[in-house]
Structure 1
Amino acid sequence: MAAVQAFTPLADIKPFKTHWKIQVKIVHSWTQYTQFTGETVEMVLADTAGTLIHATVKKPQVSKLQRFIVSGEWRIIEHFTLTKSTGKYRATKHGFKMSMMEKTVISRTPAVSDDIYVDLANFPDILNEAGLSENILIGTSS
Protein backbone atom coordinates (compact mmCIF):
# COMPACT_ATOMS: atom_id res chain seq x y z
CA MET A 1 0.00 0.00 0.00
CA ALA A 2 1.41 3.40 -0.96
CA ALA A 3 2.00 5.98 1.74
CA VAL A 4 -0.29 8.99 1.67
CA GLN A 5 1.63 12.25 1.26
CA ALA A 6 0.70 14.81 3.89
CA PHE A 7 -0.29 18.34 2.96
CA THR A 8 2.31 21.08 3.38
CA PRO A 9 1.17 24.20 5.25
CA LEU A 10 1.31 27.37 3.12
CA ALA A 11 3.70 28.93 5.64
CA ASP A 12 6.24 26.17 4.85
CA ILE A 13 6.27 26.17 1.03
CA LYS A 14 9.44 27.50 -0.60
CA PRO A 15 10.54 28.04 -4.23
CA PHE A 16 13.30 25.41 -4.28
CA LYS A 17 10.95 22.73 -5.64
CA THR A 18 7.67 22.42 -7.54
CA HIS A 19 6.31 19.16 -6.11
CA TRP A 20 4.27 20.50 -3.20
CA LYS A 21 0.87 19.15 -2.19
CA ILE A 22 -1.42 21.61 -0.42
CA GLN A 23 -5.02 21.59 0.75
CA VAL A 24 -6.57 25.06 0.46
CA LYS A 25 -9.81 26.97 0.34
CA ILE A 26 -10.33 29.34 -2.58
CA VAL A 27 -11.15 32.51 -0.66
CA HIS A 28 -11.59 34.72 -3.72
CA SER A 29 -10.95 34.56 -7.46
CA TRP A 30 -11.07 37.05 -10.32
CA THR A 31 -10.09 37.39 -13.96
CA GLN A 32 -7.43 39.96 -14.76
CA TYR A 33 -5.99 41.33 -17.98
CA THR A 34 -2.73 43.21 -18.44
CA GLN A 35 -0.73 43.91 -21.57
CA PHE A 36 2.27 42.15 -20.04
CA THR A 37 0.61 38.84 -19.02
CA GLY A 38 -2.63 38.80 -21.01
CA GLU A 39 -5.68 37.25 -19.35
CA THR A 40 -5.10 35.37 -16.09
CA VAL A 41 -7.22 33.95 -13.31
CA GLU A 42 -6.09 35.25 -9.93
CA MET A 43 -6.93 33.66 -6.58
CA VAL A 44 -6.41 34.12 -2.88
CA LEU A 45 -6.01 30.72 -1.20
CA ALA A 46 -6.04 29.82 2.51
CA ASP A 47 -5.02 26.72 4.43
CA THR A 48 -6.47 25.49 7.73
CA ALA A 49 -3.95 27.58 9.70
CA GLY A 50 -5.38 30.72 8.07
CA THR A 51 -2.27 31.44 5.99
CA LEU A 52 -3.20 33.26 2.77
CA ILE A 53 -1.33 33.20 -0.54
CA HIS A 54 -1.90 34.80 -3.95
CA ALA A 55 -2.04 32.36 -6.87
CA THR A 56 -2.16 32.84 -10.65
CA VAL A 57 -3.37 30.67 -13.49
CA LYS A 58 -1.85 31.93 -16.75
CA LYS A 59 -3.71 31.79 -20.05
CA PRO A 60 -2.28 28.43 -21.30
CA GLN A 61 -3.61 26.64 -18.19
CA VAL A 62 -6.94 28.50 -17.79
CA SER A 63 -8.99 26.12 -19.99
CA LYS A 64 -7.63 23.08 -18.11
CA LEU A 65 -7.99 24.43 -14.55
CA GLN A 66 -10.78 27.03 -14.54
CA ARG A 67 -13.56 24.52 -13.80
CA PHE A 68 -11.88 23.72 -10.47
CA ILE A 69 -11.66 27.38 -9.40
CA VAL A 70 -14.79 28.01 -7.36
CA SER A 71 -14.69 30.59 -4.59
CA GLY A 72 -15.52 29.07 -1.21
CA GLU A 73 -14.55 25.53 -2.25
CA TRP A 74 -11.67 23.44 -0.87
CA ARG A 75 -9.13 21.98 -3.29
CA ILE A 76 -5.93 19.93 -3.30
CA ILE A 77 -3.26 21.51 -5.50
CA GLU A 78 -0.09 19.71 -6.61
CA HIS A 79 2.87 20.84 -8.73
CA PHE A 80 3.22 24.62 -8.90
CA THR A 81 5.95 27.21 -8.92
CA LEU A 82 6.66 29.94 -6.39
CA THR A 83 8.18 33.34 -7.00
CA LYS A 84 9.00 36.18 -4.65
CA SER A 85 5.89 38.27 -4.03
CA THR A 86 6.79 41.84 -4.87
CA GLY A 87 5.16 44.92 -6.21
CA LYS A 88 3.08 47.77 -4.98
CA TYR A 89 -0.24 45.93 -4.71
CA ARG A 90 0.19 42.55 -3.05
CA ALA A 91 -2.97 40.52 -2.48
CA THR A 92 -1.56 38.77 0.63
CA LYS A 93 1.29 39.14 3.12
CA HIS A 94 2.84 35.81 2.06
CA GLY A 95 6.44 36.16 0.87
CA PHE A 96 5.76 34.10 -2.25
CA LYS A 97 3.18 33.98 -5.04
CA MET A 98 2.02 30.71 -6.63
CA SER A 99 1.82 30.12 -10.38
CA MET A 100 0.14 27.10 -11.87
CA MET A 101 2.10 25.23 -14.52
CA GLU A 102 1.35 22.62 -17.17
CA LYS A 103 1.83 19.77 -14.65
CA THR A 104 -0.41 21.40 -12.01
CA VAL A 105 -3.23 19.20 -10.77
CA ILE A 106 -6.22 20.66 -8.91
CA SER A 107 -8.64 18.17 -7.41
CA ARG A 108 -11.78 18.40 -5.32
CA THR A 109 -11.76 17.60 -1.62
CA PRO A 110 -14.47 17.74 1.05
CA ALA A 111 -14.73 20.98 3.03
CA VAL A 112 -12.30 21.09 5.93
CA SER A 113 -13.56 24.27 7.60
CA ASP A 114 -16.28 26.87 7.16
CA ASP A 115 -13.95 29.72 8.20
CA ILE A 116 -13.89 32.67 5.80
CA TYR A 117 -10.13 33.39 6.16
CA VAL A 118 -9.82 37.13 5.74
CA ASP A 119 -6.92 39.32 6.78
CA LEU A 120 -8.21 42.86 7.13
CA ALA A 121 -5.86 45.83 7.51
CA ASN A 122 -6.28 48.17 10.46
CA PHE A 123 -7.50 51.63 9.49
CA PRO A 124 -4.40 53.37 11.00
CA ASP A 125 -2.21 51.17 8.75
CA ILE A 126 -4.15 52.30 5.68
CA LEU A 127 -4.25 55.97 6.59
CA ASN A 128 -0.81 56.96 7.83
CA GLU A 129 0.59 60.42 8.65
CA ALA A 130 1.38 61.14 5.00
CA GLY A 131 -2.10 60.14 3.81
CA LEU A 132 -3.34 56.99 2.16
CA SER A 133 -0.76 54.16 2.06
CA GLU A 134 -0.31 53.05 -1.55
CA ASN A 135 1.04 49.68 -0.40
CA ILE A 136 -2.30 48.36 0.91
CA LEU A 137 -4.80 47.02 -1.58
CA ILE A 138 -8.30 48.31 -0.85
CA GLY A 139 -11.21 46.44 -2.38
CA THR A 140 -14.55 47.93 -3.27
CA SER A 141 -17.84 46.21 -3.90
CA SER A 142 -20.20 47.18 -6.67
Structure 2
Amino acid sequence: MSANKRFHLISDLKPFKDAWRVQGAKDHCSCKRTLIKRVQRNLPLGKWRVIQNTKISGTSGKYKPTKLGYKMNITDDTVFTDSDLTDDSSFLSLASYEEILNGSADTKCLIDIIGQAIDIGEVQIIQVHNEDRKRILFRIRDNMYRS
Protein backbone atom coordinates (compact mmCIF):
# COMPACT_ATOMS: atom_id res chain seq x y z
CA MET A 1 0.00 0.00 0.00
CA SER A 2 1.46 3.38 -0.92
CA ALA A 3 2.24 5.91 1.82
CA ASN A 4 -0.55 8.27 0.78
CA LYS A 5 -3.16 5.46 1.04
CA ARG A 6 -2.19 4.49 4.60
CA PHE A 7 -4.75 4.95 7.38
CA HIS A 8 -3.87 6.66 10.65
CA LEU A 9 -5.42 6.28 14.06
CA ILE A 10 -7.09 9.50 15.17
CA SER A 11 -5.02 9.47 18.35
CA ASP A 12 -1.83 9.61 16.22
CA LEU A 13 -2.77 12.78 14.31
CA LYS A 14 -0.60 15.88 14.63
CA PRO A 15 -1.23 19.43 13.33
CA PHE A 16 1.96 19.68 11.24
CA LYS A 17 0.39 17.89 8.26
CA ASP A 18 -2.74 18.72 6.23
CA ALA A 19 -3.57 15.48 4.41
CA TRP A 20 -4.63 12.73 6.80
CA ARG A 21 -6.61 9.61 5.95
CA VAL A 22 -8.36 8.34 9.07
CA GLN A 23 -10.91 5.85 10.28
CA GLY A 24 -12.21 4.71 13.66
CA ALA A 25 -12.40 6.19 17.19
CA LYS A 26 -14.28 9.10 18.75
CA ASP A 27 -12.98 12.57 17.90
CA HIS A 28 -13.88 16.23 18.09
CA CYS A 29 -14.52 17.59 14.61
CA SER A 30 -15.70 20.94 13.29
CA CYS A 31 -16.46 22.67 10.00
CA LYS A 32 -17.45 26.08 8.72
CA ARG A 33 -21.15 26.89 8.53
CA THR A 34 -20.93 26.88 4.73
CA LEU A 35 -19.91 23.19 4.81
CA ILE A 36 -22.56 21.90 7.22
CA LYS A 37 -25.03 20.73 4.52
CA ARG A 38 -22.20 18.92 2.67
CA VAL A 39 -21.05 17.21 5.87
CA GLN A 40 -24.62 16.16 6.76
CA ARG A 41 -25.04 14.70 3.28
CA ASN A 42 -21.69 12.85 3.31
CA LEU A 43 -21.67 11.60 6.92
CA PRO A 44 -25.00 9.78 7.36
CA LEU A 45 -25.70 8.40 10.82
CA GLY A 46 -24.68 4.79 11.26
CA LYS A 47 -22.41 4.67 8.18
CA TRP A 48 -18.66 4.13 8.41
CA ARG A 49 -16.74 6.60 6.24
CA VAL A 50 -13.13 7.32 5.32
CA ILE A 51 -12.37 11.02 5.77
CA GLN A 52 -9.45 12.33 3.72
CA ASN A 53 -7.73 15.73 3.60
CA THR A 54 -8.66 17.19 6.94
CA LYS A 55 -6.80 19.82 8.91
CA ILE A 56 -5.73 18.97 12.43
CA SER A 57 -5.46 21.63 15.10
CA GLY A 58 -4.98 21.71 18.83
CA THR A 59 -8.01 21.78 21.07
CA SER A 60 -8.57 24.85 23.16
CA GLY A 61 -10.81 26.01 25.93
CA LYS A 62 -11.20 24.91 29.48
CA TYR A 63 -13.03 21.67 28.65
CA LYS A 64 -12.32 19.25 25.81
CA PRO A 65 -14.90 16.90 24.28
CA THR A 66 -12.34 14.04 24.10
CA LYS A 67 -9.04 13.20 25.77
CA LEU A 68 -7.18 13.80 22.49
CA GLY A 69 -5.10 16.97 22.28
CA TYR A 70 -6.21 17.64 18.70
CA LYS A 71 -9.42 18.10 16.75
CA MET A 72 -10.27 17.46 13.12
CA ASN A 73 -11.41 20.32 10.86
CA ILE A 74 -13.42 19.61 7.71
CA THR A 75 -12.33 21.84 4.82
CA ASP A 76 -13.42 22.44 1.22
CA ASP A 77 -10.85 19.80 0.17
CA THR A 78 -12.11 17.09 2.54
CA VAL A 79 -13.25 13.93 0.77
CA PHE A 80 -15.65 11.34 2.22
CA THR A 81 -15.71 7.77 0.88
CA ASP A 82 -17.20 4.45 1.99
CA SER A 83 -15.15 2.42 4.45
CA ASP A 84 -14.63 -1.34 4.56
CA LEU A 85 -14.23 -1.06 8.35
CA THR A 86 -17.30 -1.71 10.46
CA ASP A 87 -17.37 -1.77 14.23
CA ASP A 88 -20.46 -2.06 16.38
CA SER A 89 -18.81 -0.38 19.38
CA SER A 90 -20.71 2.65 20.61
CA PHE A 91 -17.54 4.71 21.23
CA LEU A 92 -19.28 6.21 24.23
CA SER A 93 -17.07 6.66 27.26
CA LEU A 94 -19.69 7.08 29.92
CA ALA A 95 -18.60 8.30 33.33
CA SER A 96 -20.24 6.67 36.32
CA TYR A 97 -22.07 8.78 38.88
CA GLU A 98 -19.63 7.41 41.47
CA GLU A 99 -16.65 8.86 39.51
CA ILE A 100 -18.38 12.24 39.34
CA LEU A 101 -19.38 12.31 42.99
CA ASN A 102 -15.99 11.19 44.34
CA GLY A 103 -14.08 13.56 42.03
CA SER A 104 -12.14 10.92 40.09
CA ALA A 105 -13.68 11.87 36.69
CA ASP A 106 -11.32 13.75 34.35
CA THR A 107 -11.96 17.45 35.01
CA LYS A 108 -10.19 18.61 31.84
CA CYS A 109 -12.44 16.68 29.51
CA LEU A 110 -16.20 16.83 28.92
CA ILE A 111 -17.79 13.62 30.12
CA ASP A 112 -20.77 11.64 28.87
CA ILE A 113 -23.43 10.46 31.31
CA ILE A 114 -26.86 8.90 30.98
CA GLY A 115 -29.61 9.53 33.50
CA GLN A 116 -33.24 10.48 33.93
CA ALA A 117 -34.13 14.19 34.26
CA ILE A 118 -36.22 14.49 37.42
CA ASP A 119 -36.30 18.27 37.86
CA ILE A 120 -35.85 20.95 35.19
CA GLY A 121 -35.86 24.65 36.04
CA GLU A 122 -36.76 27.70 34.00
CA VAL A 123 -34.39 29.31 31.49
CA GLN A 124 -32.38 31.99 33.28
CA ILE A 125 -30.33 34.79 31.73
CA ILE A 126 -26.99 35.22 33.53
CA GLN A 127 -23.98 37.46 32.93
CA VAL A 128 -20.72 35.73 31.92
CA HIS A 129 -17.83 38.08 31.12
CA ASN A 130 -20.32 40.91 30.58
CA GLU A 131 -22.36 38.87 28.07
CA ASP A 132 -25.87 37.48 28.50
CA ARG A 133 -25.96 33.68 28.56
CA LYS A 134 -28.87 31.28 29.01
CA ARG A 135 -28.77 28.70 31.79
CA ILE A 136 -31.08 25.89 32.84
CA LEU A 137 -30.57 24.09 36.12
CA PHE A 138 -31.67 20.47 36.23
CA ARG A 139 -31.29 17.34 38.32
CA ILE A 140 -30.78 13.87 36.92
CA ARG A 141 -31.05 10.46 38.51
CA ASP A 142 -28.84 7.46 37.89
CA ASN A 143 -31.37 4.85 36.76
CA MET A 144 -29.00 2.00 37.53
CA TYR A 145 -29.73 2.47 41.23
CA ARG A 146 -33.45 3.35 40.92
CA SER A 147 -33.36 5.77 43.85
Same fold at TM > 0.5: yes
Q: Does 1:91 align with 2:65?
A: yes
Question: Where does residue 71 of structure 1 map in the other structure?
Answer: 45
TM-score of the aligned structures, taking structure 2 as reference length: 0.63
Question: What is the deviation of 1:107?
Answer: 1.4
Cα distance in 2 between the residues matched to 1:6 and 1:89? 31
Which one-letter code corresponds to 1:99 in the other structure? Answer: N
Q: Does 1:61 align with 2:35?
A: yes
TM-score of the aligned structures, taking structure 1 as reference length: 0.64
Question: Where does residue 127 of structure 1 map in the other structure?
Answer: 101
Q: Deviations over 1:67-107 (max 9, x none)?
A: 11222221000111112112234221111111111111111
Question: Where does residue 120 of structure 2 map in the other structure?
Answer: none
Question: What is the deviation of 1:65?
Answer: 2.5
Percent pairwise identity: 29
RMSD: 2.7
Question: Where does residue 16 of structure 1 map in the other structure?
Answer: 16
Q: Decide whether the 8 Å contact of 2:20 with 2:54 is kept in 1.
A: yes
Q: Does 1:108 align with 2:82?
A: yes
Cα distance in 1 between the residues matched to 2:55 and 2:39? 15
Cα distance in 1 between the residues matched to 2:41 and 2:102? 41
Which one-letter code corresponds to 2:18 in the other structure? Answer: T
Q: Does 1:117 align with 2:127?
A: no
Question: Where does residue 6 of structure 1 map in the other structure?
Answer: 6
Q: Indicate the SS of the match to 2:27.
A: strand
Q: Which structure ranks higher in relative contact order (CA pairs < 8 Å, sequence separation ≥ 6)?
A: 1
| Distance change (3 Å), C-alpha of 1:21 and 1:9 | same
Larger Rg belongs to = 2
Question: What is the deviation of 1:63?
Answer: 2.8
In structure 1, stretches of 5+ residues that fail to align are 24-46
